Each structure stands twice: as C-alpha cells, then as structure tokens.
Structure 1
Amino acid sequence: MVAHSVPATGDPGLQPERTALSWSRTAFALAVNALLSLRSGLVAGEPWLVAVGALLFAASGAAVALATVRRRQLSGERLVITPPRGALAGVAVATLLASAGGIASIFVEGEMA
C-alpha cells in the first residue's frame, strides 16, 4: 500500500483529530484487557493467560506508537491519508487477541467461583 497524502487546508475539521484519538482509545482498550488477562492468569495460576496479558501489553505499546505516528501524520502540512503499512492488520489481530483473552479470563474466573 502506497501512502496517499493531500495538502492540508487551513481548517481540516475534526476528522484528523477523531482519527488520532481512535488510535489512542484502541491502545487504552488493549491495555485494560492486558490487565484483566494478567490478573486472571495470576489469580488462577494459568501461565497461558499471563502470556496473553504480556503479549497484549506489547500490543498496546505498539498501538500507542502508532497513535503517535498517526497524530503527527494528521497534524502536518500534508495529511497522510493511509496508515502505516500493516498497522490496520496488526491492530485487528491485537484486538481479536484482547477479546479472546477477555473472554478466557471470564471463564477462568467463573471456574474459580
């Protein structure tokens, strides 16, 4: 995918800001799921759930880095329309992993009760 950019206008509206904020919200959601997975794994003694939590923390760090890159791309003199290569696929995989970890932590907590 080739990056497509357009000249920034004097008033780009709120769309670039909303796009940059959405990347930050995704990173925050991944970090919260990482905490839930880590807690459930440590309480239940499930090393695979701890590993999922650690992987999610790494993914949330990557999402924070992507959010920073997107914010800079969207606030420059040229608006870069396309996100970095592989960013969308990586965030989609991390989100699916976060969902699976969250669901697994619920089942682990349910078995302990």
Structure 2
Amino acid sequence: MPPREPGDEPGRDPGLQGERTALSWTRTALVITVNALLALRSGLVSGQLALTVVGVVLLVAAIGAVLYGNVRGRALAGHGGHQIPPAAPALPMSILAGVTLIACAAGVASVLVRH
C-alpha cells in the first residue's frame, strides 16, 4: 500500500454531531429557563427586585443559548464530513458557564427565600 499524501485522507464522518450539539444547547437553555422562572416567581412573590432582575437576565440568556445552539448545530452539520468543523469559540462557552452558575445560584436562592 503506497503512503498517503496529506490531501488523500478519507472524509470525516461526523454522524449526528450537529444535531447532538443543537440538542445539548436546547437542553441547557431549558434548564436555564426553569431556573429563571423559579427566580422570577420568587422575586415577584417576595418583592425582591434583585431576584426578579436575575430571572429576567436568565430568560434572555436562555434565548441566547437556543439561538447560539442552532447556529453551532448548523455549522457542524454544514461541513458534511469533508473537513473538520471549526472549534467553538471560547467566549460563548465561557458566557454559558457563567450563566449556568448564576442559574444554579438563582434556583437555590429562590428555594431558600422566605415568601
């Protein structure tokens, strides 16, 4: 078997990577939305403006996660296995990690706040 040239590599088969990526972003957005609704409810019932603001911010972040997940899923699916898709930028991943941390804290705070 002759040695392969650099351009002779077989196409990469990503399978359903794009769909899995979009679904994972959607699941993350769902979790953020649930925590946002908990924070909003607790903030409105207890009259705490800070908790209400956190709930609104988390709802906006959930919408952003859904939109970015769709864009990223299309980018991965659009490569058709002929080349390696570009890596996800670090900034959206860092923002999502921070938002998820805030969502967890808001969920805990909404449970611990006395009504």
TM-score for the superposition, normalised by structure 2: 0.79
Q: Which residue of 2 aligns with 1:104?
A: 109
SS of the aligned residue for 1:86 comes to: helix
Taking every aligned residue pair, what percent have the same amino acid on both sides?
49
Q: Is the 8 A contact 1:73 1:79 kept in 2?
A: no
Q: Name the CA shift for 1:95/1:80 in 2 (closer, same or farther; >3 Å).
A: same
In 2, distance between residues paired with 1:96 and 1:102?
10
Q: Which amino acid aligns with 2:35?
A: N
In 2, distance between residues paired with 1:20 and 1:81?
15
Q: Which residue of 2 aligns with 1:86?
A: 91
SS of the aligned residue for 1:80 comes to: coil
What per-residue deviation string (whole Å, max 9, x for no partner) do you get for residues 20-66 of structure 1?
21111111111111111000100111111001001101111111111
Q: Which amino acid aligns with 1:20?
A: A
Runs of at least 5 residues in structure 1 that lack an aligned partner in the other structure: 1-6
RMSD of aligned Cα (Å):
1.9
Range that drifts further, 81-90 or 96-105? 81-90
Higher Cα Rg, which structure: 2
Q: Name the CA shift for 1:96/1:105 in 2 (closer, same or farther; >3 Å).
A: same
Runs of at least 5 residues in structure 2 that lack an aligned partner in the other structure: 1-9
Following TM superposition, the consecutive aligned residue runs of length 4 or more in structure 1 with deviations greater than 6 angstroms are none
